Structure 1
Amino acid sequence: MPRTPAKGKATEAQRATKVLKALDDLQSGHEMTIIRVSEPISSALQNADAPNNNARTSDVSNASLDAPTPASLEADLAHYKELFAKLRFSYVEQVTKEKFIRAIVGDPPLIVTPQENADLEASNFEAKAALKALKTEVARMVAELETRARDLAARWDRIQLETATLRELPAKMAQLEAAIAGLKKKQPGMGLGEDGEQQQQQQELNMPLAKTAALVDSRQMQLRELDRQLEQLSSQAPRKKKEVERLQAELGQLEARRVHSTTAAREAKRRREDAQGGVQDDLEAKGRWFRATEQVLVDVLDAKV
């Protein structure tokens, strides 16, 4: 059975409420911020510094813990890399000095042959090559992780924007429904002879998106055809206007001739009625001649008296 409009609206409202509730639950349980991501690091550092409050920490780390941001985290990472490089150099130097001193003061002293040096150099070369390959792989992984992180951040921002838009949709839908109801109330009633047109309009309003788009395309095509015809008629209008002006000028001349001939004929008729004898016959002959002339002009010029 087809569902009623009230039931359909209630179902859509319930679905919108469920979607918003699911979004709230999802966002409340999966909040992603720079501060929450940095909590494990900051908590570990605070626990390590808790036994010795007088331990010295760098200014960069203190600033990053106060207000962690992407820029501060990058600066902190660069700072720690520099410290680690210095520490590694100091460690290697200290260990080398210690081994050298033990080799000298040992009993018996440690004597290294050239072959052992060559073997150690070869093993160091292999270890350096392996370490370089590992560094390259780690750099590639870090670059990939950075790219993925930026992509996820962009997607997160987009999801936040779409979520905000989705939250505004129910209110907008309610406003649109209220506006549609008001327009339906304001729409005047149609006569019985317009039932077919009203049904067609109602069917067009209830069509799906694909058919509506096709109908819009056909109407736009008809509008373009009408515009083309209007343009053609507009281009022909000046020529037609000149032709009408020429015909009006010719008609004015013919009208003047007709008035002149009519006046002459009336004058001849009056004279014939007033005259007597041969003069009357002469005027009658002139009247017949004028009438014949008028008839010839009418036939030639296609004018009506």
Structure 2
Amino acid sequence: MSSKPTRHMSPGSADAASATKVLHALEALQSREIAIIKISEPISSALAQDNTNIADHRNAVEGNSGNDNNNGNGIRTSDVSNSSLDAPTPASLEADLAHYKELFAKLRFSYVEQVTKEKFIRAIVGDPPLIVSPQDNAELEASNAEAKAALKALKTEVSRMVADLEIRGRALAARYQRVQLETATLRDLPDKIAGLEDHITELRTAQRLEPGARPELNMPLAKTAALVEERKARVHELDRQLEQLSALAPRKRKETERLQAELTPLETRRQNSTAAAREAHRRKEAALGGVEDDLEAKGRWYRAQEAVLKQMLDLQS
């Protein structure tokens, strides 16, 4: 039975395949719709549809409170910007939330005021008129206190849940941004791996063409790691020496400048002395009238004869 040849995959190819597989998995996950976006769609659509109704209702409430919008009552008359619904940002959402809180607070105050006036008028004009005893007021205050306590507890619980959700939302947003950045890096990883594999192939080809040029390329991994550590230690030592020499450089520079300052007058004196010696030599030659040349020639002849006689007689000086 014939066996099929097994194809061996290099580590770089395996890494590239693994990176491509992970990238496909991330793209498949990112193609799915996020649940929080689904949750926000009904709210956004409801806000977009009811924007006109809310504006009309608010204008009606403001008309009951007073026809003049600039009478100092502080009611906001601007509509919610549609741009915040098209491209919501944390700042725009916080601004819209503050606007709606202010609007509903004023609506609640207007509603309570209107209902109170209506009840008071009905109680007065009713037949027979409604008479409230102190006992009824006390019972109503007790029930109101219980309702306020329950409402306060619910508000506290809702505030805690909102704070918890905000913390989780910010953490999830940070993780989402980090995943986006890592995904972008992962998209570039297969190309980088392919480029590194090509570079490794070029180096191996060059090593085969010149096997004795760089023997350190043929060492095993353990020796290569040891050589790398040795080179790193050498570089570290050179850096340390360079730092020491850099620390000594200012002092050496100052010393050089001092020696240069001392050498300048000495150099001037040497040049003056050399010029004076040349002038004296010239004057001496002029005074002798060429006799010095004859004496120098005779001296050379006597030294040559002395050397010949020493060689002949085997004399040692």
CA gap 1:69/1:225 in 2 versus in 1, 3 angstroms: closer
State the shift of 1:138 in Å: 2.0
Q: Give, as a single letter, the amino acid of the residue that structure 2 aligns with 1:168.
A: D
Please give the root-mean-square deviation of Cα atoms over the aligned residues, in Å: 4.5
CA distance in 1, matches of 2:307, 2:227: 73
Equivalent residue for 1:21, pick from 14, 24, 28: 24
**1:161 aligned residue:** 181
The alignment partner of 2:128 has SS state of coil
- Residues 84-134 of structure 1: CA deviation (Å, up to 9, x unaligned): 111111111122222222322333332222122123223322322332232
The share of aligned pairs that are identical, in percent, is 63
Q: Per-residue displacement from partner, 1:153-175 (whole Å, max 9, x unpaired)?
A: 12111110100000000000000
Higher relative contact order (CA 8 A, sep 6+): 2
Work out whether residues 16 and 189 of structure 2, in 8 Å CA contact, stay in contact via their aligned partners in 1.
no
Select between 167-176 and 124-133 the one with higher mean Cα deviation.
124-133
Paired with 1:64 and 1:228, the residues of 2 have a C-alpha distance of: 59
Deviation at 1:37, TM superposition (A): 6.3
Deviation, 1:180, is 0.8
Taking the aligned partners of 1:32 and 1:215, their CA distance within structure 2 comes to 54
SS in 1 for 2:220: helix
Q: Which of the residues 25, 30, 35 maps onto 2:33?
A: 30
Q: 1:112 to 1:31 in 2, by over 3 A?
A: closer
Distance 1:231 1:146 in 2: 52
Instruction: Give the Cα separation in 1 of the matches to 2:241 and 2:93.
Output: 68
The equivalences for 1:248-287 within 5 A come to none
**What displacement does 1:75 show?**
2.1
The answer for unaligned runs of 5 or more in structure 2 is 1-5, 59-77, 249-304
Residue type of the partner of 2:142? A
Q: Report the CA distance shift for 1:84/1:5 in structure 2 as closer, same or farther (over 3 A).
A: same
Distance 1:126 1:144 in 2: 27
Please tell me whether residue 42 in structure 1 is matched to residue 44 in structure 2: yes
The match for 1:90 is: 110
Q: Distance in 1 between matches of 2:150 and 2:227?
A: 68
SS at structure 2 position matched to 1:59: coil
2:221 to 203, 215, 222: 203
CA distance in 2, matches of 1:55, 1:176: 66
Q: CA 1:147–1:5 in structure 2 vs 1: closer, same or farther (change >3 Å)? A: same
Q: Which residue of 2 aligns with 1:146?
A: 166
- TM-score under structure 1 length normalisation: 0.59
Q: 1:204 to 1:133 in 2, by over 3 A?
A: same
TM-score of the aligned structures, taking structure 2 as reference length: 0.57
Deviations 1:247-298 (A, max 9, x none): xxxxxxxxxxxxxxxxxxx979969x9xxxxxxxxxxxxxx9xx9xx9xxxx
Distance in 2 separating the partners of 1:62 and 1:229: 67
Amino acid of the structure 1 residue aligned with 2:106: K
**CA gap 1:170/1:71 in 2 versus in 1, 3 angstroms:** same
Whether the 8 Å contact between 2:84 and 2:93 is mirrored in structure 1 is: yes
Secondary structure in structure 2 of the residue aligned to 1:204: helix
Which amino acid is the alignment partner of residue 180 of structure 2? Answer: Q
Contact 1:60/1:75 (CA < 8 Å) preserved in 2?
no
Cα drift, residue 74 of structure 1: 2.2
5+ long unaligned stretches in structure 1? 236-265, 274-287, 295-305
- Give the SS at the match of 2:88: coil
